[in-house]
Amino acid sequence: MAHAPQAQPPSPPQSPVNTPGKGVTGGITPLLTGLLPQSVAADALLDSLPFGIAVLSAEKRIVRLNSRAQALLGVGDEAHGLPCYHVVRSARCLRECPVPAILRSLRATQDEPAESGSCRGETAPCDTDILDRQRRKVPVRSCVLPLCDPAGGAVGYLEVLEEATCPAPGLPQQEEGSSMEGFIARSPAMQPLFSAMRIIAETDSTLLITGETGTGKDLLAEGIHKASPRSGGPFVKVNCGALPEHLLESELFGHMRGAFTGAVSDKPGRFRLAAGGTLFLTEIGDLPLALQVKLLTVLDDQCVHPLGATRPVSVDVRIIAATHRNLEAMVREGTFRQDLLFRLNVVRLHVPPLRDRDGDIPALLDHFLRRFSASTAKSLRGFTPQAMKILCEYPWPGNVRELRNVVEYAVHFTTGDMVDISGLPASILAPPAEALPSGGDGSAGRTYTAPHAPRPPEGQSGQEPGQPEQATTPPPAAQGVSGTAPQEQQTFRTWQEKERSMILDALARTGGRKQEAADTLGWSRSTLWRKMKQHALE
């Protein structure tokens, strides 16, 4: 950036492209002059960069945020003029702002001969994190550069923010045998998916991903984005079923200031925040009919109409949609538009359920066991043959998500170095033999019979809280599984631990409502209150 042209005041109009005027957001369009024969629109240049860029004034206030930075930070034009540490909110901002070091460096080298227009004082990139407006802590790599005048004095700063995508230290690295980042799959059922994925990633076609809940549709969508030429752009996810209709419209397409009561500032909308990247519409089957029409328009015209806007805004976005619903059946029922289905269904990928992925269950169990063991600092070696048999025979209606949760539970409640039957949740040991959730491709109504599994130990399932005395005996050593009947196994070291866990579980399931939690546990409210105090759960 040392030789980058300086931002100049707007030059006289030379062509409609570089004529200074009101931008989309109502601000003056800044120009870069002197680099090319004609001026260059600075906003377009900043927006095309594959990093988040915050242009700061000499007083460290926000001058411009490019679209990538807006998507990363979750703010729009309302941030202009605010102190940078209130907008960027990186951990580095409050601990050690790099600007004083840059100024010291500039002052120290002021007397040294330097090339005309060059600027010193760059700081090394720093790994830190930001807190975005969706209350997520996002690891980023931040670098602050001074913007210098021809004499070498700092007139502003440029903060470059790049989302860090490397895995967290301590976590196991990607396994061999998986064919895509994040996917643990060795089964033949997954190979056609991976083959198709490589081709699809190279295209810009709209993609529809179907599959049962918990099969990894989100992971697949993100994997395709990362493998695509748009990987440098943002991956913006919208859950179509999570917001009410009027909010979803504003969230997707944005709105202009004053479009409705409470619209105090312009909002770019997710389509514009995903510019240059991928917009992932999950639970597309839950999209209200009125919005299906608007989405249809976007897919046709490649432009969005923000609420209250007088003209459309072009967007360069790849759309990936996903659902666990049977869209064809929804079309027949009249709850999903057929023309939208045709447009979304350009390329379709179906993620097979876990029960159809022969051989993947042990690999996934091993992967999650190592992952959770590392995160909880436990050294678990694996599963006992009995536990592995039960896990492999289980139908996994919740697919990989359920498997991951089961392993997490087992890691927490296993006391030895091998996960045995006593470490498994009761739902696995005695799964209901009812129909499983329907798949996205007409697998509804398929019935699975539970494997012959031993009954869970009494008091372990949390359904028999009235018999605590049966669980007060110390647990046997985890290695002694083979010689002990599973009914006599204990998951918890003490009844106190078990009781505390039951209380927490009941409170979590009832959203903290103590009366309901007490009812669930079969206790009176006062008993629950007393036991909560006893366990310091206030």
Partner 1 sequence: MKKILIALHGDEVSPRFDQTGEAWIGTIHDGAIMRRRNVVLPQASSEGLCHLAVTEGVDAIVCGGIEDEFYQYLHWKRITVYDNVIGPMEQVAQAYMEGSLAAGAVFTEGEQP
Indicate whether 136 belongs to the interface with partner 1 (CB under 8 A): yes
Asked if 411 and 380 count as a contact pair (C-beta separation under 8 A), the reply is yes
Cα 456 to Cα 470: distance, rounded to the nearest angstrom: 13
Nearest alpha carbon to residue 130 among 76, 75, 92: 92
Place of tokens 């007409």: 442
Nearest alpha carbon to residue 193 among 172, 174, 231, 219: 219
- At closest approach, how far in Å is the CB of 112 from partner 1? 29
- At closest approach, how far in Å is the CB of 248 from partner 1? 19
Q: Stretches 79-87, 219-227, 395-403, 441-449: which one binds partner 1 (CB under 8 A)? A: 79-87
- The residues in 97-116 that bind partner 1, with binding defined as CB under 8 A, are none
Indicate whether 512 belongs to the interface with partner 1 (CB under 8 A): yes
- At closest approach, how far in Å is the CB of 56 from partner 1? 9
- At closest approach, how far in Å is the CB of 511 from partner 1? 8
Cα 486 to Cα 468: distance, rounded to the nearest angstrom: 18
Asked if 463 and 483 count as a contact pair (C-beta separation under 8 A), the reply is no
Q: Stretches 40-48, 135-143, 248-256, 393-401: which one binds partner 1 (CB under 8 A)? A: 135-143
Asked if 219 and 182 count as a contact pair (C-beta separation under 8 A), the reply is yes
Q: Which is nearer to partner 1, 100 or 483 (CB)?
A: 100
Q: Which is nearer to partner 1, 157 or 383 (CB)?
A: 157
- The residues in 52-71 that bind partner 1, with binding defined as CB under 8 A, are 57-59, 61, 63
Indicate whether 93 belongs to the interface with partner 1 (CB under 8 A): yes
By residue count, the chain amounts to 538
Indicate whether 163 belongs to the interface with partner 1 (CB under 8 A): no
Burial class from Cβ neighbours inside 10 Å (0-12, 13-18, 19+) for residue 430 reads: middle
Indicate whether 131 belongs to the interface with partner 1 (CB under 8 A): yes
Number of neighbours of residue 349 by Cβ within 10 angstroms: 20
Q: Which is nearer to partner 1, 95 or 452 (CB)?
A: 95
| Out of 10, 20, 24, 78, the residue judged to bind partner 1 by CB under 8 A | 78
The token pair at 162 is 């790049």
Asked if 5 and 39 count as a contact pair (C-beta separation under 8 A), the reply is no
Indicate whether 134 belongs to the interface with partner 1 (CB under 8 A): yes
- State which amino acid sits at residue 525: R
| Out of 4, 49, 91, 363, the residue judged to bind partner 1 by CB under 8 A | 91
| Out of 15, 16, 37, 95, the residue judged to bind partner 1 by CB under 8 A | 95
Q: Stretches 74-82, 295-303, 313-321, 388-396: which one binds partner 1 (CB under 8 A)? A: 74-82
Looking at residue 166, what DSSP letter applies?
S
Q: Sketch the per residue contact string, 12 through 41, with partner 1: x for CB under 8 A, - otherwise.
A: ------------------------------
Looking at residue 281, what DSSP letter applies?
E
Q: What are the backbone dihedrals phi and psi of residue 459, each rounded to the nearest 5 degrees, phi first?
A: 85, -10
The token pair at 277 is 């990247």
Q: Are strands 31-32 and 7-8 parallel, antiparallel or unpaired?
A: antiparallel
Indicate whether 509 belongs to the interface with partner 1 (CB under 8 A): no
Cα 429 to Cα 416: distance, rounded to the nearest angstrom: 19
Indicate whether 537 belongs to the interface with partner 1 (CB under 8 A): no
- At closest approach, how far in Å is the CB of 165 from partner 1? 20
- The residues in 457-496 that bind partner 1, with binding defined as CB under 8 A, are none
Q: Which is nearer to partner 1, 147 or 344 (CB)?
A: 147
- At closest approach, how far in Å is the CB of 57 from partner 1? 4
Indicate whether 85 belongs to the interface with partner 1 (CB under 8 A): yes
Asked if 297 and 253 count as a contact pair (C-beta separation under 8 A), the reply is no
Asked if 118 and 147 count as a contact pair (C-beta separation under 8 A), the reply is no
Cα 145 to Cα 81: distance, rounded to the nearest angstrom: 19
Q: Which is nearer to partner 1, 147 or 320 (CB)?
A: 147
Indicate whether 132 belongs to the interface with partner 1 (CB under 8 A): yes
The token pair at 75 is 């703010």
Asked if 414 and 380 count as a contact pair (C-beta separation under 8 A), the reply is yes
- At closest approach, how far in Å is the CB of 19 from partner 1? 21
Q: Stretches 75-83, 140-148, 160-168, 368-376: which one binds partner 1 (CB under 8 A)? A: 75-83
Q: State whether the Cα torsion 308-312-317-323 is positive or negative.
A: positive
Q: Which is nearer to partner 1, 93 or 349 (CB)?
A: 93
Site of interaction with partner 1 (CB under 8 A): 57-59, 61, 63, 78-83, 85-86, 89, 91, 93-95, 131-137, 156, 512
